[in-house]
Structure 1
Amino acid sequence: MWGGRTTLLAALIVIVVASVIGIVTGLLAAYVGKTTDTVLNWFADALLAIPSIIVLIALYAVIGPRIAISMFVFGILISPFLFRLVRALAVEVRNEAYVEAAQVAGVPPIRLIFRHILNVIRGPVIVMMADITATAITIQASLEFLGLGSINTVTWGGMIEQAFLAMYQAPLSVVWPGLLLTLTIGSVALLGNAIRDALVPGQSSRRSKRARLLEVKQGGAEGAPQDKVSEPAEVCGPANPVDAFLSVEGLAVAYPSARGVKYVVKDVSFSVARGQVLGLVGESGSGKSQSVFTVLGLLPSQAEVPRGRVLLDGEMLPLDRQGAMRPRRIAYVPQEPMANLDPVYTIGHQLTFPMRKVLRLSRKEAKERAIELLVRVGIHEPESVYKLYPHQISGGMAQRVLIAGAISMDPDLLVADEPTTALDVTVQADILDLLRDLQQERDMAMLMVTHNFGVVADICDKVAVMKDGQLVESGDVEQIFEAPQHDYTRTLLDASLEEAPTRTFASEVKHG
């Protein structure tokens, strides 16, 4: 046990150095990207090319048996393993919708990196740290066994070396330090998995009976389509009325390519007034999501907006990807509800944190408001759901939670990007009813992005049809359904259910 002090201290030095270097640089490379990512990857590859054990043996020959310095150097040499793991995991998480939502909420980059990205990937990182610790113990003991340690310091590797030299006189003396070394290495690996299971929600395959019952009671569980690239054209949408709450005027969005600049949105104009629902319709790749991302300030860094402007209540919004510059008067309900909830925080935390941060509510007030919102969006047993993690609820419940979060700031404009795509038909109808009721009772402007004319007929007042990045037709829902002017609009209508009632007719039936 006395000999374990030095070995375990050496392992502690290695894991601290490797973790600080590997995790920080991995997160930095994934978040910043571009030149920083390239340079850090080059350094990681260079360190991996160096034979660690030979460097440590040479270091012992130069400085002598100084364990602390040798293990510090070994921590640097082994840090690329953590760097590569963290970077690979963080690159995937970096583009998740809940990370973009945190950006829109104005979360600082440091907090975003370490709280929202690192927390999500910490499971595999913890296991890798345990493996590195076990490797450090093995390397330190191996160097001592080779006789490169101090004869005045008791270590497990040194004890095994001395026992090996006296094996014929005392054969059992090699067993005890070797057995303790083996048990420690195995225990470190098990400890890493145990810590991972304790800290990361959803790792255990067992789920509480209460969570399963809630899911059965409240209903069952696609990223934003990538708009295809096409050539620019001079096609403009209709002029925006003076009383519009949201106005998009002459918008164009382009991406660099090998052949130059390719346009995915071309001179698109549309508007939404207070208390009005506009349906932005088109097939995947028509440019509707790119137009909405411009409104939300969520365009990727490589996107360019060469012309156009976006006005909210007469105020011009920035056209770059600074989502944090958006006022809280805009709310967003995305598709794929499970991908838009942070898996490491409870439902209650994700609902109350924005209210406490922006509305300056106390913890108690925020919780009461969150419970009220969960009740309003039709979730039964809201106090139980409040304490659950996203993996413990169904897709339909997750979409209701997102809607509750969207209306928690009392927005004036609600942007819904295909909010029913990932849900079954029954749940889709419930979500549309909920959105319609909330829009009417709060007199919000709503921008509904969809490819389904059935959704348009159910909830929208006006409709704008997009194709290949252009606005080909727009008008009142009744006008578009009864007398479509463009061939593409007629094609979309022919692909939908026949005789779908418009919102006016549906409301008359519902309310008698």
Structure 2
Amino acid sequence: MKTTSRLLRRPAAVVAVAWLVLLTVATACAPLIAAHGPLDQDLSHVLALPSASHPLGTDSLGRDLLSRLLYGGQPALLAVAEALVAHLVVGVTLGLVAGYLGGWADTLITRVGDLLFALPAIIIVLVVLSVFPGNLHAAMITFGVLGSPGLIRVLRSRTLGIRQEMYVAAARVCGLSDAQILLRHVLPRLTSTVIVQAALFSAVAVIIQAGLGFLGLGAQPPAPSWGGLVADASQVIDRDPWMLVPAGVPLVLTVVALSMLGDAIRDSAVESWSVSKLATASAPPPVAKEHAEAPVPGALLSVRDLTVEIDGVPVVQGVSFDVMPGETLGVVGESGCGKSVTALGVLGLVPGNGRVTGGRVVFAGTDLTASPTELARVRGSGIAYVSQDPMVALDPTFTVLSQLREAVRRHSGANREQARERVLELLAMVGVPDPEGVAGRYPHQLSGGLAQRVLIALALAGRPKLLIADEPTTALDVSVQKEILTLLHTLQRRTGIAVLIVTHDWGVVATLCHRSLVMYAGQVVEQADVESMFVRPLHPYTAGLLAANPHRAAHGHALTTIPGTVPSPREWPVGCRFAARCPYAGDDCRAAPVALTGPAPARLTRCLHVEELVSEGARL
């Protein structure tokens, strides 16, 4: 439904859909629209221009062109529909089966698809017409089958990835059959892909059926057909050029409309995948005007009033913080609060169509937002990044040695042998057992924990001063998480590197961080040193997160939950963005934006009821 609303907001899609609907309705209602029959002749008006009695003119036998166009559209659209149905039945069925079942079924279907690819489709269609003269139905169904290998390949590739999803495994555990899983859990994920491929194939099918009609292999004269109209127009083009307009323009418009529709559906689907919950770029809510302080003296990284937009929708607004040399700053919050986007905004790597639209990112005295060249130079050598999924960050086609050596040579200028020694040194530094053996492996040959260590080694290849770690332990099991956290702590002590770590785990904050930054709905809501924040939070959201911390259960504390969910950027309220979930919220919280204030030394909070929060004993 959301994809449909996005689609209808695209002018090209609306125009394409309007034309296709108009064409379908007009051809279906041809007897009601056309004043003449498709075979009726008016020899007194041969090759006539448009008039009241003949809105599109007449052909060389005085037949009404509007009537022949509408009646000829019926077999044309039927032929396209037959080809499309054959295309989808074969392509979707075999694509899903090949990708989901794998094994011999995948091998057999892939080989058959390769064979069909090798066959010249138009030649086979002509052979079918020679066996079944004038049978356009058999020809178009054959064309649909011969065009299915492309769809098979696309859906097979998508299904291979989807079948690895946890919800598919859960469906198997629940006892669902393969057919149920494919129809109810896999196919819905492929709907947009199927529709895009269907629209593009339909455009080709329109051209093919018109070409067959042009050659006289479709509907036989005097029966009307679009291809036949073009053929008739080509024979009298020297006497009546106008006849080519009603014969050819609808054909061209239909092909263009189908192509435009396919592109629009693809773009709408991509938008829904890459920018979740950001359907439209509505006017952003106002932000409280806060004093933009100068960078703290001696700070390695100073971010001031950082604002990030994706597809014109603000997802981070007015974020400011500092990271001192050798310090670890934790950024905490639920999913959708803007933590990862803030971290990527520092590096100028906002996903999708995102960009930094305001603020400054000052690293070692240089404003990176004002100098793309300096930002490119700093990446890897000044600021490194570790993602939460190492398998996404490591190229599956190259060995560990090849990838790390490339980074080492890029930042140090070392030769191949020197770079190799540095790679082995880095692998040993991050605790990789048998560095020599691991260096020769490909990423898929590594365990999750080992791959994360390799990724950290890759980040350290340029000897950075700041490491941004975006939930580096999320994809790992508990025992490996502890190893990675210990590794980061050890590396920080040995190298003096500063760390900005994005996490939703308070245990990570307590273990690694000196200070913590709490984000909610694209804003900083509290900032303090870790001990002060744990002992006395000064924002209801921080207090709620700490109360919901699973680590408290181990010490006999009851766990609570925060009602509701984080609002999407297009639903941010004017006032406090946490007000809908906050037990302390009043009318003053909802009336206007709330600014960050400093109610205590080295403490910042975005709350109007700090005293009430403290008086009720938000001591955990």
TM range (shorter): 0.5 to 0.7
Q: Shift of the alpha carbon at 1:237?
A: 8.9
Give the Å deviation of 1:360: 1.4
Instruction: Find runs of 4+ consecutive structure 1 residues off by over 4 angstroms.
Output: 127-146, 224-230, 235-240, 319-323
Could you say which structure has the greater relative contact order, defined with CA pairs below 8 angstroms and 6 or more residues apart?
1
Which of 285, 302, 308 lines up with 1:253 in the alignment?
A: 308
Aligned to 2:454: 401
Quick check: 1:463 aligned with 2:504?
no
Contact 1:237–1:267 under 8 Å retained in 2: no
The equivalent residue for 2:575 is none
Asked if 1:297 corresponds to 2:351, the answer is: no
* CA–CA separation in structure 2 for the residues paired with 1:227 and 1:238: 30
Q: Give the CA deviation at 1:472.
A: 0.8
* Distance in structure 1 (CA, Å) of the matches to 2:538 and 2:465: 32
Match of 1:498 among 552, 556, 561: 552
Aligned to 1:262: 313
Q: Relative to 1, partners in 2 of residues 1:227 and 1:440: Cα closer, same or farther, differing over 3 Å?
A: farther
CA distance in 1, matches of 2:372, 2:113: 39
Q: In structure 2, how many angstroms separate the alpha carbons of the residues matched to 1:465 and 1:500?
A: 24
Q: How many residues align?
A: 303
The answer to whether the aligner puts 1:285 opposite 2:336 as a matched pair is: yes
The one-letter code of the counterpart of 2:392 is: A
Q: TM-score, length-normalised on structure 2?
A: 0.44
Distance 2:554 2:328 in 1: 18
SS at match of 2:485: helix
Residue 439 of structure 2 is aligned to residue 382 of structure 1: no
Question: Which deviations, in whole Å up to 9, do the C-alpha atoms of 1:313-344 show, x marking residues without a partner?
Answer: 11000279987354421111110111211111
**What do residues 357-407 of structure 1 show as CA deviations (whole Å, max 9, x unaligned)?**
331111111111111111111111111111111111111100000001111
Candidates 324, 327, 332, aligned match of 1:273: 324
Alpha-carbon spacing, 1:393–1:476, altered in 2? closer, same or farther (3 Å): same
Q: Which amino acid aligns with 2:363?
A: L
* Gap runs ≥5 in structure 1: 1-34, 39-80, 86-123, 147-188, 194-223, 502-512
Matched, 1:244 2:299: yes
Give deviations 1:48-103, integer Å, cap 9, x for gaps.
xxxxxxxxxxxxxxxxxxxxxxxxxxxxxxxxx9xxx9xxxxxxxxxxxxxxxxxx
Question: What is the 5 A alignment of 1:436-447?
Answer: 436-447=489-500
Report the equivalent of 2:376.
324
2: CA distance between counterparts of 1:138 and 1:343?
35
What TM-score, normalized by structure 1, do the two folds share?
0.53
1:345-360 pair list within 5 angstroms: 345-360=398-413
Q: Supply the distance in 2 between the matched residues of 1:320 and 1:339 (Cα, whole angstroms).
A: 28
C-alpha distance in structure 2 between counterparts of 1:142 and 1:425, whole Å: 59
Superposition pairs of residues 202-221 of structure 1, within 5 angstroms: none
Q: Name the counterpart of 2:157.
A: none
User: Shift in Å at residue 139 of structure 1?
Assistant: 7.0
Letter in 2 for 1:324: A
Match of 1:361 among 405, 414, 422: 414
Contact 1:245–1:273 under 8 Å retained in 2: yes
Residues in 1 aligned to 2:341 and 2:423: alpha-carbon distance in whole angstroms:
31
Q: Secondary structure at the match of 1:265?
A: strand
CA distance in 1, matches of 2:112, 2:346: 45
The residue number in structure 2 matching 1:370 is: 423
Between structure 1 and structure 2, the one with the greater Rg is 2
**1:309 aligns to what?**
360
Partners in 2 of 1:436 and 1:467 — Cα distance? Answer: 27
Report the AA paired with residue 447 of structure 1: L
Conservation of the 8 A alpha-carbon contact between 1:276 and 1:445: yes
The separation in 2 between residues aligned to 1:245 and 1:273, in whole angstroms, is: 5
Equivalence map 1:58-457=2 (5 Å): 135-136=117-118, 231-234=285-288, 236=290, 239=293, 240-256=295-311, 261-300=312-351, 302-318=353-369, 324=376, 326-327=378-379, 328-457=381-510
C-alpha displacement at 1:144, in angstroms?
13
Give the secondary structure class of the aligned counterpart of 2:468: strand
Task: Give the corresponding residue for 1:163.
Answer: none
Summarize the Cα distance change of 1:270–1:426 in structure 2 as closer, same or farther, 3 Å threshold.
same
SS of residue paired to 2:315:
strand
Partner residue of 2:20? none
Opposite residue 348 of structure 2, the aligned amino acid is: G
Q: Work out whether residues 292 and 305 of structure 2, in 8 Å CA contact, stay in contact via their aligned partners in 1.
A: no
Gaps of 5+ in 2: 1-9, 14-86, 92-105, 129-148, 154-272, 279-283, 556-620
CA distance in 2 between partners of 1:282 and 1:236 (Å)? 22
Q: Give the whole-Å Cα distance in 2 for the aligned partners of 1:144 and 1:307.
A: 62
TM-superposed deviation, 1:495: 1.2
Change (3 A) 1:139 1:481: closer
CA distance in 2, matches of 1:135, 1:307: 51
Native 8 Å contact 1:235 1:470 kept in 2: no
Once residues 512 and 274 of structure 2 are traced to their aligned partners in structure 1, the CA distance between those partners, rounded to angstroms, is 22
Q: One-letter code of the match for 2:302?
A: S
Q: 1:466 to 1:145 in 2, by over 3 A?
A: closer
